[in-house]
């Protein structure tokens, strides 16, 4: 936990800068991509391969820029009580397409009832998109990702994402969440870093357990919305 704290501390300093730069890069990038696309369509056949490479490299820059942008805190984080199960259902529906393509089954195990978490909905969605995506990507083909939601003492909820994927070698565990740490050919190495930051902003924690060849378990613990009563300040 200490390790995570140190990392996100550093992040607060460089994160805002990175997000600011990302924001400035985005507009010129968009116009650049548009003109490359145009040249590809009007240009000679012989250059087609080059244009394809340019477009895919521009898309890659765009992905990195988008992930850096999520580091920028919106002017005001909009913390509202949301049902965590509902939020997860929306995220899972989004990711089912990618899962199906890899023959990965997304299974849900949700405690019944409404579990309210005071959160910035979009930021929290981003966390679970990142975690479930990582789970899917760890499975080359055929496997399952289980998303479980359980109420845990004293007044928390645990979201556990379990995959039957490749697992993470023990030696690499300390690198998780470091900026740009990735083992993927097309990875950005920003997903976990952003996720740690957001969960910390929500007063929660992330813990990762993994076994090579068996799979990975990611536990996100978040405080549940305190039931109203007693502490409301009426004037």
The site for ligand ADP (CB under 6 A) is made up of 130, 134-135, 138, 163, 165-166, 168, 176, 181-184, 187-192, 216
* Residue 189's binding partner out of ligand ADP, Mg ion, none, with CB under 5 to 8 Å set by partner kind: ligand ADP
Q: Cα–Cα distance between 51 and 41 in angstroms, integer?
A: 9
Contact 198, 123 (CB under 8 A): yes
Contact 39, 51 (CB under 8 A): yes
Q: Cα–Cα distance between 196 and 204 in angstroms, integer?
A: 9
Q: State the DSSP code for 224.
A: P
Residue 139's Cβ-count burial label (10 Å; 0-12, 13-18, 19+) is buried
CB nearer ligand ADP, residue 67 or residue 225: 67
* Residue 100's binding partner out of ligand ADP, Mg ion, none, with CB under 5 to 8 Å set by partner kind: none
Contact region for Mg ion (CB under 5 A) — 12-20, 46-54, 133-141, 160-168? 133-141
CB nearer ligand ADP, residue 33 or residue 160: 160
Tokens of 53: 């490479």
Least separation in angstroms between residue 205's CB and ligand ADP is 16
* Residue 84's binding partner out of Mg ion, ligand ADP, none, with CB under 5 to 8 Å set by partner kind: none
Q: State the DSSP code for 168.
A: -
Least separation in angstroms between residue 163's CB and ligand ADP is 5
**Residue 134, interface with Mg ion (CB under 5 A)?**
yes
At a CB cut-off of 8 Å and minimum separation 6, what does 156 contact? Answer: 204, 221, 222, 223, 224
CB nearer ligand ADP, residue 82 or residue 123: 123
* Residue 62's binding partner out of ligand ADP, Mg ion, none, with CB under 5 to 8 Å set by partner kind: none
* Residue 120's binding partner out of Mg ion, ligand ADP, none, with CB under 5 to 8 Å set by partner kind: none
Least separation in angstroms between residue 1's CB and ligand ADP is 18
CB nearer ligand ADP, residue 86 or residue 184: 184
* Residue 216's binding partner out of ligand ADP, Mg ion, none, with CB under 5 to 8 Å set by partner kind: ligand ADP
Q: Cα–Cα distance between 144 and 163 in angstroms, integer?
A: 6
At a CB cut-off of 8 Å and minimum separation 6, what does 146 contact? Answer: 106, 107, 108, 109, 160, 161, 162, 163
**Residue 179, interface with Mg ion (CB under 5 A)?**
no
| Residues near Mg ion, by CB under 5 A | 134, 191
């Amino acid at each position: 936990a200490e390790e995570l704290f140190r990392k996100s501390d550093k992040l607060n300093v460089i994160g805002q800068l990175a997000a600011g730069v990302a924001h400035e890069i985005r507009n010129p990038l968009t116009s650049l991509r548009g003109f490359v696309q145009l040249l590809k369509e009007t240009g000679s056949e012989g250059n087609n391969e080059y244009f394809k490479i340019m477009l895919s490299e521009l898309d890659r820059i765009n992905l990195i820029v988008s992930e850096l942008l999520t580091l920028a805190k919106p002017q005001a984080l909009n913390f509202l009580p949301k049902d965590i199960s509902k939020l997860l259902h929306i995220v899972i529906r989004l990711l089912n397409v990618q899962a199906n393509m890899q023959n990965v089954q997304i299974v849900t195990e949700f405690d019944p009832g409404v579990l309210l978490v005071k959160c910035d909905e979009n930021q929290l969605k981003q966390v679970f998109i990142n975690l479930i995506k990582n789970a899917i990507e760890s499975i080359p083909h055929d496997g399952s990702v289980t998303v479980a939601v359980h109420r845990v003492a004293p007044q928390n909820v645990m979201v556990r994402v379990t995959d039957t994927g490749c697992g993470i070698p023990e030696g690499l565990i300390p690198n998780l969440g470091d900026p740009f740490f990735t083992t993927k050919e097309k990875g950005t190495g920003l997903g976990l870093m952003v996720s740690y930051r957001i969960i910390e902003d929500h007063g929660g924690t992330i813990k990762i357990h993994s076994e090579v060849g068996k799979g990975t378990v990611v536990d996100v613990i978040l405080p549940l919305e305190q039931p109203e009563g007693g502490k409301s300040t009426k004037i």
